[in-house]
Amino acid sequence: MPPSSDPRLVMTLDAGGTSFRFSARRERARVTEIVTLPTQGDDLALCLAALVEGFARVRAACPEPPVAISFAFPGPADYPAGIIGDLTNLPAFRGGIALGPMLAAKFGLPVFINNDGDLFAYGEAIAGFLPQVNELLAQAGSPRRFTNLLGVTLGTGFGGGFVRRGELFRGDNSMAAEICMLRNKLAPTWNVEEGASIRAVRRTYAELAALPFADSPDPREIEEIALGKRPGHQAAATEAYRRLGEVVGDALAQALTLVDGLAVIGGGLSAAGPLYLPALLAELNGSYTTPDGRLRRRLVQQAFNLEDAEQRTAFLRGATHEIVVPGTGQTVAYDPLARIGVGLSRLGTSEAIAIGAYAFALQQLDRS
C-alpha cells in the first residue's frame, strides 16, 4: 500500500542541536501535536530521558497504537543497528550509544534511524520533487521518466542522500552520499561543506565587506542585501551566494556523474535559489580542457534549472522525434537529449524528512 493511503501510524522525531520535536504521522500527515523538549546534548542520561519522554507523550496522544518509531539523527552512526557514534552537536554521545535498541525495548516497537539527508531525499522521491517532475513530463507528452534522485541540504552543514528506483541507498557503512566530504573547488585543502553552508555565506560576505566574521549578518539578511531589500554591501552579498553556487555546482557535478538522476536542494539556504542557481548550473554545464586545449563537457548530460520557466519548458520538451526501424518501415520515438534537472524542495525540508521517515518505516515493516 503506498504511503499516501496507508492507515498505519508512525512516531517520528526532528532532532536538532538544541531541541527535539516529536510527533506521529499517518498517510503523510501529522496526527498529533508536536512535543518539543530540549536535547540536553551534553548530558547523556538527560538526553536519553528526553527522548523517552517525548515519544511517551506522543504515544499517549495517538488516536491508535503506532506501529513503529522512525526518525533522523545525526551521524556518524551504524543506522541499521540503531547505534549512534561520536557526535559533534550532541557531545554526550560518545563511544557508541545503542539508541535504537533502547527505544525498541522501551516501547516494544521497531525503531528505524537514518541520516537527515537520506530521509530528505527519500521524502522528495516519494512525494515531492521526483513525482512532480515525472507528472510534468507526462503532461507534456514526453516518454521520459526519472527514477533516480540526489537530494542535498544546504544549511548548518551540507547533507546528501540518494534514492535509486524507490530504494534509499545507504552504503555498507551507512555513509553513502556523504557529499560534504568532497573537496572544495575554491579552497582545495578544505572539504566542500566549508563552501556550501551558512558559515560559508557569512564568511565570504565578511571577507568581501571587510567585517569580522562575528559581525557578518545571517544568510537571510545577506540574501536581502543582495536583492537590494536591506542596506549593506550588495556586491559582497551577491558574490557570497555566487560562490556558494559555484562550490555546490562542482560537488553536484561530481555526484551526478555517478548517479545520473535529478537533483533537489533543501535546507535553510534553499530559498535563496535565484541568487546561486545560475552559478550552480553554469558549473554543471561547464567544460574541462584537454591537454591539447580542446573543451569537453563537464557532464555528458545537459543540466536544466527547473525553477526557471524557459529552462523547464526545454527540459520537458526534450528532443523527441521518430526514427525508422531498419528494414521494417516502422518508426519508434527517440529522444537523444540526455538531461538532468535541478530544483528546490517541493515539500520543505522538515516535511520531506518526516515523510521520508514514515515511508521508510512502512517499507521496512512490509519487508519483514
Interatomic CA distance for residues 169 and 150, integer angstroms:
10
Q: How confident is the model at residue 16 (pLDDT cuts 50, 70, 90)?
A: confident
Give CA–CA dist 155/134, Å, rounded. Answer: 27
pLDDT of residue 326: 95
What pLDDT is recorded for position 240?
98
Residues 153 and 91 occupy one common structural domain: no
pLDDT digits (tens, 9 = 90+) for 192-228: 999 999 999 999 999 999 999 999 999 999 999 999 9
The pLDDT assigned to 2 comes to 46
**132, 233: one domain:** yes
Within-domain flag for 35: yes
Looking at the structure, tell me whether residues 104 and 128 fall in a common domain. Answer: no
Q: Which domain covers residue 241, as residue numbers? A: 120-347
Does residue 224 lie within any of the structural domains? yes
Q: What are phi and psi of 238, to 5 degrees?
A: -65, -40
The number of folded domains in the chain is 2
Does the pLDDT of residue 4 top 80, yes or no?
no
Report pLDDT for 314. 97
Strands (E) across the chain are located at 9-15, 19-26, 29-30, 35-38, 68-72, 77-78, 83-84, 97-98, 111-114, 148-154, 158-164, 167-168, 262-266, 287-289, 295-297, 302-305, 321-324, 331-334, 339-344
Q: Which of 70, 98, 114 is the last residue of a domain?
A: 114
226 and 106 within one domain: no
* pLDDT, average across residues 164-171: 92
What's the pLDDT at 39? 87
Query: Same domain for 104 and 133?
Result: no
pLDDT, tens digit (0-9, with 9 covering 90-100), for 221-266: 999 999 999 999 999 999 999 999 999 999 999 999 999 999 999 9
Q: How confident is the model at residue 3 (pLDDT cuts 50, 70, 90)?
A: low
Q: Which of 89, 114, 139 is the last residue of a domain?
A: 114
Would you say residue 227 lies in a domain? yes
Amino acid residing at 80 = P
CA distance 163 to 155: 21
In a domain, 367, yes or no: no
* Contact by Cβ (8 Å): 51, 84: no
Question: Cα separation of 210 and 289, whole Å?
Answer: 35
- Give the whole-angstrom CA distance, residue 351 versus residue 357: 10
Name the DSSP letter for residue 328.
T
Look-up: residue for cell 515511508? 359
Per the domain annotation, does 295 fall within a domain? yes
Same domain, 90 and 177: no
The tens digit of pLDDT for each residue in 355-368 reads 999 999 999 999 98
Strands 295-297 and 287-289 come out as antiparallel
Q: Of 71, 91, 114, which marks where a domain is finished? A: 114
Whether residue 69 is contained in a domain is answered as: yes
Q: Are residues 61 and 172 in the same domain?
A: no
Q: Residue 1's pLDDT is what?
A: 40
Closest CA to 154 of 351, 361, 349: 349
Same domain, 328 and 273: yes
**CATH code: domain of residue 92:** 3.30.420.40
Contact status, residue 22 vs residue 5, Cβ threshold 8 Å: no
Same domain for 135 and 236: yes
Cα 247 from Cα 223, distance rounded (Å)? 17
Specify if 356 maps to a domain: no
Q: Report pLDDT for 29.
A: 87
Please tell me which residue, 75 or 310, carries the higher pLDDT value: 310
The string of pLDDT tens digits covering residues 282-304 is: 999 999 999 999 999 999 999 99
Q: Interhelix angle for 234-259 vs 273-284, to 10°?
A: 50
Q: Does 55 share its domain with 198?
A: no
Percent of the chain having pLDDT more than 90?
Answer: 83
Average pLDDT of every residue of the chain:
94
Residue 361 lies in a domain: no
- The per-residue pLDDT for range 26-65, each reduced to its tens digit, is 977 889 999 999 988 889 999 999 999 999 999 999 999 9
Dihedral sign from CA coordinates of 278, 280, 284, 287: positive
**Is residue 194 domain-shared with residue 321, that is, in the same domain?**
yes
